[in-house]
């Protein structure tokens, strides 16, 4: 295989990855905490679109608990979305690390 063919394949893969990343970044994911006290949506680019705290489901005297639950829930979603993004890109690249080209 000559260098030009390799370069064309790399450029084609980069276009596919960029297209997939853009689509993934706009994908909507549901946010749900334990007991659905916290619900909402987050985009694939980790932008929180909507967030709701059901004040009927927690003790108002313990704000520290709800703040901790919020942190846990958001961090869990970031981890979940990041893993799904990585898996999506790996399917396109057949596991080849193309991060240096992005």
The number of C-alpha atoms within 13 Å of 98 and in the hemisphere containing its C-beta is 23
pLDDT of residue 40: 96
Range list of H helices, 1-102: 3-26, 63-93
pLDDT of residue 98: 62
- Profile the chain (102 residues) by mean pLDDT over runs of 10 residues: 82 89 95 92 96 85 86 95 91 73 52
Burial (CB count <10 Å: 0-12, 13-18, 19+), residue 92: middle
Cα 12 to its chain centre, rounded Å, is 24
Q: pTM, whole model, 2 decimals? A: 0.78
pLDDT of residue 65: 85
Both structure tokens of 33:
């905490």
pLDDT of residue 101: 53
Both structure tokens of 56:
């009927």
């Amino acid at each position: 295989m000559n260098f030009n063919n390799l370069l064309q394949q790399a450029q084609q893969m980069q276009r596919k990855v960029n297209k997939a990343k853009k689509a993934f970044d706009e994908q909507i994911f549901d946010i749900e905490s334990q007991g659905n006290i916290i619900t909402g949506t987050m985009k694939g680019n980790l932008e929180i679109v909507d967030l709701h705290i059901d004040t009927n489901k927690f003790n108002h005297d313990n704000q520290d608990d709800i703040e901790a639950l919020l942190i846990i829930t958001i961090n869990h979603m970031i981890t979940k979305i990041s893993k799904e993004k990585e898996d999506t890109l790996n399917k396109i690249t057949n596991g080849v690390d193309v991060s240096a080209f992005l």
